[in-house]
């Protein structure tokens, strides 16, 4: 029996194979966020759209640590915040505000990932934002949006402004708050966040050296922007090149996310 066949045999009767596969990838993403030290106790959140015509999405049960989350424990909700799957937990209300806003208007938003890391929040609080100081930053800055802080995101009236500010971009700095990425898949949202977080850390380290950073030629920035402007190529890299070894790593150090 192949691994794929074995996995399908484990799909609960009331969940489609496509949803179960999405649950596995999202649970893996939560555990990878914990593994990389990006989690924040039970706060911050990652969502993934349930395959199909409805704008239903999966999000974490509010009260579990990220390294505890499994495919079956994820909570399915609709755009009105109704929980569509049984759980002993509710969902983070601020998480619902942010993620429902994006899933409502972005048909390509297969996954939305939001963090409160130290370096990401530091750069989001810098008036200059993220600068194209190095190659890693230039993977991000051509596709980066900003959204001003309005307090803890409990007010659903903020959603239109969040939607407007994100537009068609896939990376965002939530000012004085944290980082956010969007991907067609869980894999691409995670890889984008990896680059965004590293770029923020590199900027914090560069500024800590004091003085001005060595300048980057604008022609080099433009060259990278053109090279990185193909979303199909980026998605293929994330899903075929980056994600499979990440899952193998997770299977070695923190298995159980498929449960």
- Asked if residue 3 is part of any domain, the answer here is no
CB atoms within 10 A of CB 219: 8
The gap between the terminal CA atoms of the chain, to the nearest Å, is 19
* Residue 86 pLDDT greater than 50, yes or no: yes
The mean pLDDT of 87-109, rounded to a whole number, is 95
- Asked if residue 259 is part of any domain, the answer here is no
- Asked if residue 114 is part of any domain, the answer here is yes
Q: What is the CATH number of the domain that holds 120?
A: 3.40.225.10
- Asked if residue 9 is part of any domain, the answer here is no
What does the H/E/C string look like for 139-196?
A: CCHHHEEEECCCCCCCCHHHHHHHHHHHCCCCEEEECCCEEEEEECCHHHHHHHHHHH
Residue 235 to residue 200: CA distance in whole angstroms: 22
* Residue 9 pLDDT greater than 60, yes or no: no
Percent of the chain with pLDDT over 90: 90
How far is CA 143 from its chain centroid? 15
Per-residue pLDDT reduced to its tens digit, 18-71:
999 999 999 999 999 999 999 999 999 999 999 999 989 999 999 999 999 999
Write the burial class of residue 55 (CB in 10 Å: 0-12 exposed, 13-18 middle, 19+ buried). Answer: middle
- Asked if residue 222 is part of any domain, the answer here is yes
3-state DSSP assignment of residue 43? strand
* Residue 149 pLDDT greater than 90, yes or no: yes
The boundaries of the domain holding residue 103 are: 15-253
- Asked if residue 229 is part of any domain, the answer here is yes
The mean pLDDT of 148-153, rounded to a whole number, is 96
Per-residue pLDDT reduced to its tens digit, 216-244:
999 999 999 999 989 899 999 999 999 99
Per-residue pLDDT reduced to its tens digit, 159-191:
999 999 999 999 999 999 999 999 999 999 999
* Residue 1 pLDDT greater than 50, yes or no: no
Could you tell me the pTM of the whole model? 0.94
- Asked if residue 2 is part of any domain, the answer here is no
Q: How many domains does one find in the chain?
A: 1
- Asked if residue 105 is part of any domain, the answer here is yes
């Amino acid at each position: 029996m192949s691994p794929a066949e074995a996995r399908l045999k484990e799909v609960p009767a009331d969940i489609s194979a496509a949803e179960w596969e999405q649950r596995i990838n999202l649970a893996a993403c939560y555990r990878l966020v914990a593994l990389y030290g990006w989690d924040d106790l039970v706060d911050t959140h990652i969502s993934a759209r349930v395959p199909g015509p409805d704008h239903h999405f999966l999000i974490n049960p509010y009260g579990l640590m990220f390294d505890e989350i499994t495919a079956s424990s994820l909570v399915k909700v609709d755009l009105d915040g109704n929980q569509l799957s049984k759980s002993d937990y509710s969902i983070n209300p601020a998480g619902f505000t942010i993620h429902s806003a994006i899933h409502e208007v972005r048909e390509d938003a297969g996954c939305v990932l939001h963090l409160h890391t130290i370096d990401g929040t530091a750069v989001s609080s810098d008036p200059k934002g993220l600068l194209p100081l190095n190659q890693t930053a230039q993977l991000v800055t051509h596709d980066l949006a900003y959204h001003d802080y309005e307090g803890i995101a409990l007010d659903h009236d903020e959603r239109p402004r969040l939607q407007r500010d994100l537009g068609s971009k896939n990376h965002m700095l939530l000012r004085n708050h944290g980082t956010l990425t969007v991907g067609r898949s869980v894999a691409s949202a995670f890889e984008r966040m990896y680059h965004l977080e590293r770029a923020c850390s590199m900027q914090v380290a560069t500024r800590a050296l004091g003085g001005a950073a060595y300048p980057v030629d604008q022609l080099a920035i433009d060259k990278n922007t053109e090279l990185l402007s193909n979303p199909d190529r980026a998605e293929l890299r994330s899903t075929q090149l980056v994600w499979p070894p990440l899952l193998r790593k997770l299977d070695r150090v923190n298995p159980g996310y498929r449960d």
